Each structure stands twice: as C-alpha cells, then as structure tokens.
Amino acid sequence: MITRFAPSPTGPLHLGHAYAAIYAHDMARAAGGQFLLRIEDIDQTRARPEWEQQIYDDLTWLGLTWDGPALRQSDRMDRYEQALVRLWDMGVLYPCTCNRRDILAAVAAPQEGGLILTGPDGLIYPGTCRPGTAPVGPLPRDTALRLNMKAALDHIGKKSFSFLERGAGPAGEHGEITISDDALVEAVGDVVLARRDMGTSYHLAVVVDDADQGITDVTRGADLFEATKIHVVLQSLLGLPSPTYHHHLLLRDDNGKRLAKRDDARAIAKYRAEGASPEDIRRRVGLSV
Ligand code: GLU
Ligand code: ZN
C-alpha cells in the first residue's frame, strides 16, 4: 500500500491537515506500506517556501515520517505539459477565453429564477467556446484549456465509469461508485485542465502525480469526492490506474463550520507553541494511537 499527504504550502497546516496527514500515514504504516509526501504548489502566486518548510517541521514534530523526498509539483510542470499535449492530440481539449462573469451570464440567462447547476468544479460550463470539431495545430498556451467531456467519453468509448470508495462520500457513498456518461456530461461538464497563468489544474496534476508516485490508496477529505469523477475520466484517457479512494470526514470547528484552508487559529504551530504534545493533537482530531 502506498498513501500520500498532499498539502498546498499556502498557509499553516491546521487541525484538518493534521487529521489528513495522520490518517494517510497510519494507514500505510499499519499495512507495512509507504507514506509519501507531495507539495501541491502549482499556484505559484500563493505558494511560499516558508510554508513548505513549516509543513516539514509540523509533520516531523507530529512524529510522522515519509518515504523518500517530497515531490514538489512546481518541479514537474513538464510532466503536466506532456499530459496536456497527449490530451490535445486526442482532440479532447479546447481553448476557452471565458471569464467567470461570462460563464455566469451564460448559465443564468436561459434559467432565470431557476437553478444554476454546479458540479465538482463550480459552475457547469455552458459550452460557449466548445468547438464543433476537434481543434487542430499545436497546443495553445495563451488561453485556458477545457476538457471536452463529451469528446473525451466518445474517445474512451465507455458508457459508465467507476471507482472503489473505501471511505465515504459526503452522502455516505461507499463501495463501487458508478457514474454514467450522461451524468459526466451534465453534472461535471467541461472542466478546466490548464489556465493561462498556471500550466495545469489541480485535477490533471493530481492524476499524473498519483500515478507517477504509484499511489495505491488516496485518502483525502470528502469535499473532493465529487472531483474523483473527473479524475477517473482523466485516468482512463491517459491509461493510468485508478487507485482505491478513502474519502474521510472534514473537521469542523466548535460552531460546526468546516475548518477553512487557512484557519490560523487552529494552526498546528500555534498548539505547539502553547505547549501541546503530538499526542494532544492526535487526541483532538480523534486519531489517537
Ligand atoms: N492539495 C489538496 C488540499 O490541500 C489535497 C488534494 C488531494 O489530496 O487530492 O486539500
Ligand atoms: Zn469559454
């Protein structure tokens, strides 16, 4: 078994991260497997070296050891580019020049007063820039690139996709999770795989990295359960194996609110400065040894 913890160095690790890291670490160690670390720093406008260092310090203080050096996404932009070129050559990508306001206007217009559909990646893209036939020429790098979901599914030629959930989705989903091609087109849609200012999206990077790191078991917050539907399609397109997924609960604060990405009040470093022990943190997140 190979698991991983994949934080973004955009702020201090808080209790929610401690839960995710300990969960992945203990699962691998209990199985005699490996626990890997990945620094998800594709957003170079927000990533900071000092936060990366803090991740190493916090994990070490928590008593967690990872196997081999951490994988840093910013060192791997050429890998994501290769994957993008492959997808482009398959004819399943297209350039998109819409901004958020354009998309909102396009989805709101025909459904005034109605529901605006959102998928795992926010608003379902209304298809404004989707071409009738696959674009030709070299991969454009001056616009965002979207996955043409319909074209992707036609390329793969499967009516349904599935993945194994050994944890639970937000509605308790467990076991073999199946999603139909129609649901992928309607409820996921044409997601962004690269931005103009960012050579890859989280979705593409996570799929390439999980495969390159040989991850057998992905453990992560249940907020990413829906995004897994995007990931299995990308794995299928790129001929990559699908790991087993273990989505876990998200820690909530005393008011029942989900811990935000940057909940500095619950930073591990703060508890540590106040004299807490690693076992206190384990007890607080409910993962005592
Ligand atoms: N980097 C993501 C986060 O900080 C984790 C993504 C994943 O585990 O797939 O929430
Ligand atoms: Zn567009």
Tens of pLDDT, residues 38-57: 999 999 999 999 999 999 99
Mean pLDDT, all residues of the chain:
93
**Whole-number pLDDT of residue 182:** 97
Q: Which residues of the chain have pLDDT under 70?
A: 110-114, 260-263
Ligand 1 centroid vs 6 CA: distance in angstroms? 5
Reduce the DSSP state of residue 288 to 3 states and report it: coil
**Whole-number pLDDT of residue 164:** 98
Buried b or exposed e, range 112-144, using 16+ CB within 10 angstroms: eeeeeeebbbebbbbbebbeeeeeeeebeeeeb
Task: Please indicate whether residue 6, judged by its CB atom, sits closer than 6 Å to ligand 1.
Answer: yes
- Report which ligand 1 atom has the smallest distance to the Cα of 20: 8
**Whole-number pLDDT of residue 111:** 60
Task: Give the closest residue (by CA) to ligand 1 atom 5.
Answer: 6
Predicted confidence (pLDDT) per residue in 6-43, tens digit = 999 999 999 999 999 999 999 999 999 999 999 999 99
**Whole-number pLDDT of residue 250:** 87
Ligand 1 centroid vs 32 CA: distance in angstroms? 23
d(CA 120, CA 188): 6
What are the tokens at 148?
Answer: 């043409």
Tell me which ligand sits closest to the C-alpha of residue 126: 2
**Whole-number pLDDT of residue 262:** 60
Choose one of 10, 58, 71, 206 to mutate for the ligand 1 pocket test, by most ligand atoms within 8 angstroms of C-beta. Answer: 206
pTM: 0.94
Task: Please indicate whether residue 220, judged by its CB atom, sits closer than 6 Å to ligand 1.
Answer: yes
DSSP designation for 12:
-
Using alpha carbons, list the distances in angstroms from residue 81 to 104, 150, 210, 228, 263. Answer: 29, 22, 16, 21, 33
**Whole-number pLDDT of residue 150:** 98
d(CA 166, CA 168): 7
